[in-house]
Structure 1
Amino acid sequence: MQSLRETGRLPKARWSPSPNFGPRPEGAAISLLVVHNISLPPGQFGGPEIEEFFCNRLDHSAHPFFETIRGVEVSAHALIRRDGSVVQFVSLLERAWHAGRSCFEGEEECNDFSVGIELEGTDDIPYTPDQYRALAQVARMVIAAWPSVTEERVTGHCDIAPGRKTDPGPAFDWAEFRAILARTGDKE
């Protein structure tokens, strides 16, 4: 069985390939995990719209908000739904388009060296226990495959694009996530 580092595919994740990715720059090593949130339409959960958006299949006439994102081509490596299920859009070996203009510890263009994980949610609605557990499991796999991604190098979109992005927002309980991540690490 091939490892995550060889395949870039998260075990047990449903594969839904996005065209919105590219190669990582020569010599770019994965060393950061970025936590995001998304809901489409805003504040609504459970529908197919996030997946359709990341795969450039969103029906922009289905909701007024969708017109505001017409022509936007973005992706993340994976999405964690409210029930904790994981959908993967881009191989972790490739460069997903999730961070935009960004900087972490003086290093610009975080897409080049990061893994982007979206949580189905909003800045101000609490995330589910299933999402925290699934995110901790994914983070632990990434940390094991790429030791340069330490627990300290798991951060929010708001931290790498301050003033431009706010996610995962105040509803994301970093202390709870880090406690679950530590327990996940104890099992290895």
Structure 2
Amino acid sequence: MNLIKWLLLLLGAAYFYYWFKGKERAAQIQLAQAEAEAQKQSVAPQTIVQCQLCHVHLPQSEAMKQEERFYCSAQHLQALDDAGWLGSALWRPSPNHDARPDGCIPDLVVIHHISLPPGEFQKRASTQHIIDFFQNTLDISAHPYFAEIGGQKVSSHFLISRQGQVFQFVSTKQRAWHAGVSEFLGRERCNDFSIGIEMEGDGDSSFEEIQYQQLSILIQNIQKEFPKLQFAGHSDIAPQRKMDPGKFFDWTKLQKTTLIPEKNFPFGLDSR
């Protein structure tokens, strides 16, 4: 009986041993499979994109995206590229431009205001109407006023909406058709040497704080490429025709937030 008892104990011990080793082996196999899967995922090819500004290649997961463009850093996102387009802006190319005169480098920023329809900038549709107008796609049946301007071919370089969105329509290296017949300190044809910035609004209302913030950032970014800029309103260079940006535009605020020397505002900082 004792022998049988010992044999049963040995058989039980052997069974337990092989059962335990089997569980351990299964766990090892499961762990190895998990490690292999993790390694497979870690070496999976990543989508490679190119920085719009410096053209360096980098994984898409590490890039900063603006619309369908990619940038390797915030600094490059906030810069003008070789073609004169600002990375942080929303690009809406306009056909209403041509080449600047040979050797002409912009040294003037002209501030405008615009609302389509006039005075209705509070409506979100106004921004899209402006974009359509600058792209020659404005639906003239959408408002009676649009029939009056539907045939015009105009565009600024930039637009800042009431919500602070910055749109770019024309490269800063190209001549946008924004100023018309104009003169700046004895120099005619201001489109030749200027960059036009539209502020969404009219001459009877104040502009939004976020518009000033975005305007300051925009100007500082442009100045990195064109450091000798002076500043004027459309009314300063075409006083017989234009009144924008109007008496509610705060020139002093613009000067203080950008730290641009007052001498770069030849028409002064008083509202007009």
8 Å CA contact 2:115–2:201 kept in 1: the answer is yes
In the alignment, what sits opposite 1:170? 247
Matched AA of 2:242: K
1:89 to 153, 169, 176: 169
Q: Distance in 2 between matches of 1:136 and 1:128?
A: 13
8 Å CA contact 1:84–1:131 kept in 2: the answer is yes
The 5 A counterparts of 1:23-172 are 23-45=99-121, 46-47=124-125, 48-149=128-229, 153-172=230-249
Alpha-carbon deviation of 1:180?
1.3
Q: Distance in 2 between matches of 1:106 and 1:143?
A: 23
Alpha-carbon deviation of 1:131?
0.5
Alpha-carbon deviation of 1:70?
2.2
Runs of 4+ in 1 over 4 A off after TM superposition: none
Q: Distance in 2 between matches of 1:147 and 1:109?
A: 21
RCO greater where, 1 or 2, for CA within 8 Å and sep 6 or more?
1
Alpha-carbon deviation of 1:7?
2.7
Deviation per CA, 1:35-94: give whole Å up to 9, x if none: 001000111122110000000000111101111112101001010001111011001110
Alpha-carbon deviation of 1:27?
1.8
Matched AA of 2:161: R
Q: Distance in 1 between matches of 2:208 and 2:239?
A: 25
Q: Which runs of 5+ in 2 are unaligned?
A: 1-52, 55-78, 261-272
8 Å CA contact 1:5–1:146 kept in 2: the answer is no
State the SS of the aligned residue for 1:176: helix
8 Å CA contact 1:30–1:146 kept in 2: the answer is yes
TM-score using structure 1 length: 0.92
In the alignment, what sits opposite 1:186? none
Matched AA of 1:17: P
Q: Distance in 1 between matches of 2:173 and 2:118?
A: 30
Give the total of aligned pairs. 180
RMSD of Structure 2 on Structure 1 (CA): 1.3
Structure possessing the higher radius of gyration over alpha carbons: 2
State the SS of the aligned residue for 1:117: strand
Q: Distance in 2 between matches of 1:175 and 1:42?
A: 26
Deviation per CA, 1:13-44: give whole Å up to 9, x if none: 11111010001011211100010010001111
State the SS of the aligned residue for 2:244: coil
Identity %: 48
Higher helix share: 2
State the SS of the aligned residue for 2:93: coil
Q: Distance in 2 between matches of 1:13 and 1:160?
A: 26
Q: Which runs of 5+ in 1 are unaligned?
A: 184-188
Deviation per CA, 1:156-179: give whole Å up to 9, x if none: 101011121000000101111211
Q: Distance in 1 between matches of 2:222 and 2:235?
A: 21
